[in-house]
Structure 1
Amino acid sequence: MIRVGKKYQHLIHGAACGCSNPMLVQASRRLETFTRRGLLTGAALLAGAAAAPALAQSTTPPTRTLFRQVRLFDGKSNSLQSNAQVLVEGNRIAAVDTSNSPPQPDWTVIDCGGRMLMPGLIDAHWHTLFAAIPAPILMTGDPASIFTTATAEANRTLLRGFTSVRDVGGPVFSFKQAIDTGVIPGPRIFPSGAMITTTGGHADLRMLSDIPRDPARLSLIESIGGAAIADSVGDLSMRVREQLMQGASQIKVVGGGGVSSPRSPLDMTTFSESDLRAAAAIARDWNTYVTVHAYAPHTVQRAIAAGAACIEHAHLMDEETAGLMAQKGIWLSIQPFLSEADSVPLTGPSRERMLQVFGNTPRAYELVRKHGIKTAWGSDLLFSPELTPRQNVMLTHLGRWYSNAEALRMATAGNAELLALSGPRNPYPGKLGVIEPGALADILVVNGNLLDDLKLIEQPDRSLAVIMKDGKLYRNSLAS
């Protein structure tokens, strides 16, 4: 869901299209050369420089960190395990010990004093580069401003306790590399690359001056890698392969309309079943999967028939659609939108669609529970640094339909199961979302018990005493 606030509505095509606005025309000209390469060239160069030393064999033994006196939530249980300790060796969990064996002299010891220890949180629907970038900054076409804003937000995302995100639309490949090589702090990113849509579909944010289409010239949204427009099965197949070639862990295809895209009503359906079937087949050839953006029942059903493994949103689904998803074992990545506080302000038709989605959210979750649909949690917050801190609040919204343990399981081990669908395209081989030997060392230590009070996570600066990702400490307020 892409949402642009009232303040910036004049920058896109709404009821009063501003295509002739001189400021917009000037911004458009500046963005003619704003490509994916231009956006993140600096990040790629820095990431490459940081990666170069890794070619040499390291003789330094892995560091060992022991978390003592923890109450353990392993990502899969309903309760905490008391008097446990967790040993991290390098970037993996080496042991979970209830005998409280004494540490070795060269280990770093963190005494958790009976605090809750759990896996890092996972957001299954995030847009790394677009989450906190206000529309005016995006429209300037200044790569430095965009990169700086996204870099700051990636660090904030990590410090909110989110150690992994599934990015479902945006030019994040070089940005991900910069995080992975330690150039900038941020969560693990499972990238989709560009959202693939048809003309007029959600993610087609071209200006009307770009129509009719010039086949020799990409539009702005395509040139920055935010979307790829395909109106034939050949073009669709090519766009899917382009994302996979760049390192996509899964493919995001837009099957229907969206909330804020100005000319794509929620009831519309874009790609034909044969088109979607071709995209799913290519993803399977690469041993990964397609996830389809869809709200309306017939759009969801078409995606399922075509072989999609996951559906994004589906807030308008009906009983038949929910039953089909459960029968076929299709994943649902849905967001618990409850009120206008969960979105930047919208106006006109976009606001009407937003209210329609919010009004149908409770019914959608009731169908999820009734039919036992495999469900992932995501936040889908966009275009506002003031809104992104609600990422944690969006998680606590699950308390309306789930117990605290169920909500935490969904945001850890449950979401990790969805990430694992990428198979060999998984950029981080190893288990996520669990605390067990061999799992990747993404760990949170909590001041309090989230199983008793999930709302503690709404203030991560206070509630998260320790944040570790890949065996590296990014916050430690406890004495070592």
Structure 2
Amino acid sequence: MMKKLLLSLVFAANFSAIAADNKEELPKQTLFTNVHVWDGTSEGITKKINVLVEGNLIKKVRADKSDARKDATIINGDGKVLMPGLIDTHTHIAVPEQLDVLTNKVDTIYWGISAAQVTQDWLMRGYTTVRDAGGPAVAVMKAVKDGKLIGPRVYPSGQVISQTSGHGDHRDYNTPHPNLPGNTPQKMQKPEGLEMICDGVAEVLRCSREVLRTGATQLKVMVGGGASSSFGPLYTLQYLPEEIEAAVRAARDYGTYVMVHAYHDESIFRAMNAGVRSIEHGTLMSEKGMKAIMEKDAWISPYFTMLSLPWETIEAYVGPQNAPKAKQIYDGAKNQLRILKESGYDKIAFGADVVGPLSVQQTANNEFVVRAKYWKPVEVLKQATFNNARMLKEETGLRNPYQAGDLGVIKAGAYADMILVDGNPLEKIELLVDPTNTLKVIMKDGMVYKNTL
């Protein structure tokens, strides 16, 4: 009898322990109540509803309070607007100072600390996902995923791929070529740097595969000149068609794509014919360049934050040597805005292309008000949420590191990446320019990183 009693007690204890373990394993729930929802695709906001988050995904939109467990965290939105977290498709979070500072005035430890500061700030400005367009951002992505750094989801391009004297060749005039016998890569060309200099099909293949090997989710290739490179005039065509095609083929073999830095029509034509999927900038293009992009059903990721700043500020930042090129880009941006708007094309991404110290990167939110002069606020918001998410999902393919849910939308099964705005950004998009005061809650992957309600 005693033996049976002991066995019963042991069984009961084990059962209780298993039940307790199962209870502990239940995913955390958060219930947003009394919120107007803009879901990333609709033309307007809902009436006040509830949204239930379980784990890192949205479990139910228009939830009842009874749908949540008793231990769920309740966030009363009090009539504020819940919308998808912002996405930027052209950041440089791992280039957190001017290039001459990173090259000559700080070591890699300082560089990393500065990048960590910038990365966290992007999340605190409402961006829950970014596509990084060049720099050692693979390390940033890993640090965020491993919980060692607070920041957005990152789609890193790794080191940019450039020809000799291209937009990704930031050597000083007398610095020897890193690929010539007897020479060694300088700081910017090392694996923890910004760029890889590669010429010819064989070298482009090697560089492309190396960048992918180290963890890039897509390739960034320079096919034209730019404002920050001293030896790459804007008018130049960079990389031969077969070299660009080599990068595209390497990317396709990894299930992903190539994005290119290109300003004018000729570089766009060459990139489109080679199979490139995303044109970065296109600031000096004509209607012919726009037509080429549309015919290939490709993406264009322009940037207009600079138009929110006085020209004198831009001139001082780029320096006297590069100021003439920057002025050409500055003036061309207004014409590009007209071309994009008149095209009616929907594959327009949202990216600010701010690079440098924290104070400069914080101007990225100005992109909203510049675009809102040409598009309706809801159109701009779709670019910064649903459109960008669509690009990342469709083009990154098997290389996509975030496949458990959708980004850029509020719907059941999507990632719980959301921001709570004090006001309606569909009516006043400038609310997003002051994220410190207007973003009351920031949630990424089901975790609340800011709550000032």
Q: Same fold (TM over 0.5)?
A: yes
Is the Cα–Cα contact under 8 Å of residues 326 and 371 in structure 1 kept in the other structure?
Answer: no
Over residues 237-275 of structure 1, what are the superposed CA-to-partner deviations in whole Å (9 max), with x where a residue is unaligned? 011011111111110000010112111111101101111
**Alpha carbons of structure 1 residues 133 and 204: separation in structure 2 relative to 1, 3 Å:** closer
Shift of 1:459: 0.9
Tell me the secondary structure at the aligned position of residue 69 of structure 1.
strand
Report if aligned partners of 1:68, 1:86 keep a CA contact under 8 Å in 2.
yes
Q: In structure 1, what is the equivalent of residue 271 of structure 2? A: 303
* Number of the residue aligned with 2:320: 348
- Letter of the 2:431 counterpart: L
Could you say if the C-alpha distance between residues 436 and 263 of structure 1 is closer, same or farther in structure 2, counting changes exceeding 3 Å?
Answer: same
Look up the match of 1:460: 435
Q: Please say if residues 132 and 388 of structure 1, whose CA atoms lie closer than 8 Å, have aligned partners that are also in contact.
A: no
- The 1:387–1:357 alpha-carbon spacing in structure 2 relative to 1, beyond 3 Å, is same
Which among 247, 264, 268 is matched to residue 236 of structure 2? 268
Displacement of 1:427 after TM fit? 1.2
Q: What is the distance in 2 between the residues matched to 1:270 and 1:304? A: 14
Which letter maps to 1:219?
Q
Instruction: Name which of structure 1's ranges 314-323 and 381-390 shifts more when overlaid on structure 2.
Output: 381-390
Pairwise CA distance, 1:343: 7.5
The answer for the alignment partner of 1:424 in structure 2 is: 398
Q: Pick closer, same or farther for the CA change 1:305–1:92 going to 2, 3 Å.
A: same
Which residue of structure 2 aligns with residue 370 of structure 1?
A: 342
After TM superposition, give the deviation of residue 139 of structure 1 in Å: 2.3
RMSD of equivalent CA atoms: 1.9
1:83–1:98 contact (8 Å) kept in structure 2: no
Distance of aligned partners of 1:304 and 1:286 in 2 relative to their CA distance in 1, 3 Å threshold: same
Partner residue of 1:151? 116
Name the TM-score, length of structure 1 as normaliser: 0.84
* 4+ runs deviating over 6 angstroms: none
Q: Is the 8 A contact 2:241 2:274 kept in 1?
A: yes
TM superposition shift of 1:398: 0.8
Count of residue correspondences: 422
- Paired with 2:399 and 2:102, the residues of 1 have a C-alpha distance of 33
Q: Is the 8 A contact 1:127 1:382 kept in 2?
A: yes
Residues in 2 aligned to 1:390 and 1:331: alpha-carbon distance in whole angstroms: 24
Summarize the alignment of residues 390-469 of structure 1 with structure 2, pairs less than 5 Å apart. 390-420=363-393, 421-429=395-403, 430-469=405-444
Q: CA 1:408 to 1:324, structure 2 compared with 1: closer, same or farther past 3 Å?
A: same
Task: Give the counterpart of 2:197 among 229, 232, 236.
Answer: 229
CA contact (8 A) 1:313 1:333 kept: yes
CA distance in 2, matches of 1:136, 1:219: 14
Comparing 125-134 with 84-93, greater Cα deviation is found at: 125-134
Residue 258 of structure 1 is matched in structure 2 by 226
The Cα offsets for residues 309-345 of structure 1, whole Å up to 9 and x where unpaired, read as 0100110111111111112111001001314356762
Aligned twin of 1:219 = 186
Aligned-pair distance for 1:141? Answer: 4.0
Q: Which runs of 5+ in 2 are unaligned?
A: 1-21
Distance in structure 1 (CA, Å) of the matches to 2:384 and 2:154: 15
Task: Decide which structure has the larger Cα Rg and report it.
Answer: 2
Name the CA distance, whole Å, in 2 between partners of 1:58 and 1:299. Answer: 58
Structure 1 211/335 Cα, relative in aligned 2: closer, same or farther at 3 Å?
A: same
2:32–2:77: 8 Å Cα contact kept in structure 1? yes
Compute the TM-score of the two structures, normalised by the length of structure 2.
0.89
**Given that residues 317 and 364 in structure 1 are in contact (C-alpha distance below 8 angstroms), is that contact kept between their aligned partners in structure 2?**
yes
Question: What is the distance in 2 between the residues matched to 1:87 and 1:252?
Answer: 38
Aligned in 2, Cα 1:283/1:97: closer, same or farther, shift over 3 Å? same
Q: Which is further off, 208-217 or 380-389?
A: 208-217
The superposition leaves residues 50-104 of structure 1 with CA deviations (integer Å, 9 ceiling, x where unpaired) of: xxxxxxx996221000000110010111100112211110000111016565643
Cα displacement string for residues 415-453 of structure 1 (whole angstroms, at most 9, x for unaligned residues): 111111101111111211100011111110011111111
- CA–CA distance in structure 1, aligned partners of residues 430 and 357 of structure 2: 22
Q: How far off is 1:349 after superposition?
A: 4.2
Q: Does the 8 Å contact 1:297/1:316 carry over to 2?
A: yes
Contact 1:203-1:261 within 8 A present in 2 as well: yes
- Aligned position for 1:49: none
Distance 2:104 2:72 in 1: 50
Instruction: Give me the whole-angstrom Cα distance separating, in 1, the residues matched to 2:98 and 2:249.
Output: 34
Shift of the 354–469 alpha-carbon distance from structure 1 to 2, 3 Å rule, reads same
Structure 1: unaligned runs, 5 residues or longer: 1-56
Q: Of 141, 150, 163, which residue of structure 2 is paired with 1:198?
A: 163
Distance 1:330-1:342 versus aligned 2 partners, 3 A rule = farther
Specify whether residues 199 and 133 from structure 1 end up closer, same or farther in structure 2 by C-alpha distance, changes over 3 A only: closer
CA distance in 2, matches of 1:169, 1:215: 27
Alignment of 1:460-479 (within 5 A): 460-478=435-453
Aligned residue among 107, 113, 131 for 1:166: 131
1:69 & 1:343 partners in 2: Cα distance? 47
2: CA distance, partners of 1:268 / 1:397: 28
Q: 1:131 to 1:75 in 2, by over 3 A?
A: farther
SS at match of 1:182: coil
Equivalent residue for 1:210?
Answer: 175
